[in-house]
Amino acid sequence: MNKQNLPTFDPLNPLIFTERMAQILNEKQKELIEKIGVIHEQHGMQPLMGRILGLILVIEEAEVTFDDIVAHLNVSKSAVSYALNFLQLQRFVIYRTKPGERKRYFYLDIEDWDQILKKELCNVADINSFFKEVIELRGNAKPEFNNKLKDLCEFLEYLKEEIPLMFERFKKNKS
Amino acid sequence: MNKQNLPTFDPLNPLIFTERMAQILNEKQKELIEKIGVIHEQHGMQPLMGRILGLILVIEEAEVTFDDIVAHLNVSKSAVSYALNFLQLQRFVIYRTKPGERKRYFYLDIEDWDQILKKELCNVADINSFFKEVIELRGNAKPEFNNKLKDLCEFLEYLKEEIPLMFERFKKNKS
DNA sequence: TTGTTTGTTCACAAAAAAAAGAACCAGCTT
DNA sequence: AAGCTGGTTCTTTTTTTTGTGAACAAACAA
């Protein structure tokens, strides 16, 4: 089913769907959106933002309009406006427009998905920078502890170097 | 300076320090504790918990008592109790006791720091499991998107396999 | 010009998270 | 037995986060 087709009306769903709107979500999809939302929350993201990402992943079109989000996720326009601005700022989503329409179609910038991973992996880098500061600042009362910390840092450095190489090896392996 | 020495009294600091207490923190240390707290918050951890981890990392002793936390972080006993229980449950900290004392000395379970990393890296695994669910559920309207998603998953799988090997290589390299 | 679509902004409300505080308790000391 | 020490538990308060709704606005359409 694509956007040209009118979605079948679900009498159990109180929302009014218009012909512009993306497909109606089934239970599995709704569940998965929530789950994706929750893991994003657990990683420090705001609830609605996580669910927007879930929505984009789950719907067949792989893109949503402002109104799709309002309707499917049943939230206010202002919340959506705020969330989308944030997600764009963080480069999680981008939008395109379609000829003759003013509406924005938001989608995941998955084209270079290695970016997504790099973002995840720079968490590790963050942690490392703090460990380094810690080591700088620590006294010498617990040399064993300090050494463990240094080992950890070293490994993180190693990881940071190796991961880009892994990207390359993977790509080579594929082609 | 160690716990046997009475810390010098800081007239700007309203807290009353007793002879039991760990060193008085300097500004750099306090700052770093807050920073470590914030990055943990951003990763979904509660503020106090993050700062407790920061405190343990930063103080020379590399271990804290319940009262150290109350005094240095200036929070209530109940908050500390809750936070410590959580941190123990998540295996972030463990405690030991000292002969003749009832007090618990909490410290980071950094002995096998690879655990800490594995915890971080299993986030990646989490994400992968959700991507897999997404792929299962997705229709075929956007094959390019689906393929990108599959590539991403494949790479994550590859990463999961390779990372333990990297641990080994690193250890071998060290010894 | 008036209305419609596609949003944004801001002041506020609701809900959830975090922390406080008081009461309690077990084990040890005196 | 009465008082400390080293906490725990429960209820309440405070703070922060998240979301709402009304008003506004730009761009286009009738």
Q: What is the pLDDT of residue A14?
A: 37
Residue A34, min C-alpha distance to chain B (Å): 11
pLDDT at position A3 over 80: no
pLDDT at A122: 67
Q: With an 8 Å Cβ cutoff, are A110 and B42 in contact? A: no
Closest among A63, A171, A159, A155 to A118, alpha carbons compared = A159
Task: State the average pLDDT over residues A33-54.
Answer: 95
The pLDDT of residue A143: 97
User: Which helix H or strand E contains B160, and what residues bound it?
Assistant: helix B143-174
Work out the pLDDT band at A161, boundaries 50, 70, 90.
confident
Average confidence (pLDDT) over A165-170: 88
Report the SS3 class of residue B71: helix
Distance, CA of A48 to C1' of C6, in Å: 20
The CA–CA distances, whole Å, from A156 to A120, B12, B59, B168 equal 14, 39, 22, 14
Which DSSP string do the residues of A36-60 spell out, in sequence order? HHHHHHHTT--HHHHHHHHHHHHST
Q: How far apart are CA B103 and CA A99, in angstroms?
A: 70
Write phi, then psi, for B96 (nearest 5 degrees).
-130, 165
B44 CA to C14 C1' in angstroms comes to 22
pLDDT single digits (tens) B75-89: 999 999 999 999 999
A103: closest CA of chain B, how far (Å):
20
- Is the CB of B85 within 7 Å of strand C? no
Task: Provide residues 11-30 of A with CB closer than 7 Å to any strand C atom.
Answer: 20
B46 touches strand C (CB under 7 A): yes
Tell me how far apart the alpha carbons of residues B102 and B96 are, in angstroms, rounded to a whole number.
10
Looking across all nucleic acid strands, the nucleotide with the smallest C1' to CA distance from residue A48 is D18
B97 touches strand C (CB under 7 A): no
Find, among B121, B36, B62, the residue nearest to A155 by Cα: B121
Mutate which of B3, B49, B60 to disrupt the A interface (most A C-beta within 10 Å)? B60
Backbone phi, psi, residue A120, to 5°: -60, -45
List of E strands, chain B: 63-64, 93-97, 104-108
Binned at pLDDT 50, 70 and 90, residue B122 comes out as low
Task: Round and report the angstrom distance from CA (B77) to C1' (D10).
Answer: 13
Cα–Cα distance for residue pair A1/A10, rounded to 1 Å: 15
**pLDDT tens string B41-79:** 999 999 999 999 999 999 999 999 999 999 999 999 999
A110 contacts on B by Cβ (under 8 Å): 145, 148-149, 152
One-letter identity of residue B169? R
Strand order in the sheet with B63-64: B63-64, B104-108, B93-97
Kindly tell me if the per-residue pLDDT of A136 is higher than 60. Answer: yes
DSSP-derived secondary structure letter, B100? T
Question: What radius of gyration do chain B's Cα atoms show?
Answer: 22
Asked if strand C comes closer than 7 Å to B26 Cβ, the answer is no
Q: Is the CB of A102 under 7 A from strand D?
A: yes
Residue A75 C-alpha, separation from nearest chain B C-alpha, in angstroms? 23
Q: How many CB atoms lie within 10 A of CB A21?
A: 18
Structure tokens at A85: 């601005």
> What's the mean per-residue pLDDT of chain A?
85
Check CB contact under 8 Å for B110 and A149: yes
Q: B58: which chain A residues are within 8 Å (Cβ-Cβ)? A: 134, 137-138
Q: Report pLDDT for A127.
A: 85
Residue B3 phi, psi dihedral angles, 5° rounding: -65, -25
Residue to substitute from A123, A128, A169, A175, interface B, most B β-carbons within 10 A: A123
Chain segment B91-120, per-residue pLDDT in tens: 999 999 999 999 999 999 887 777 777 767
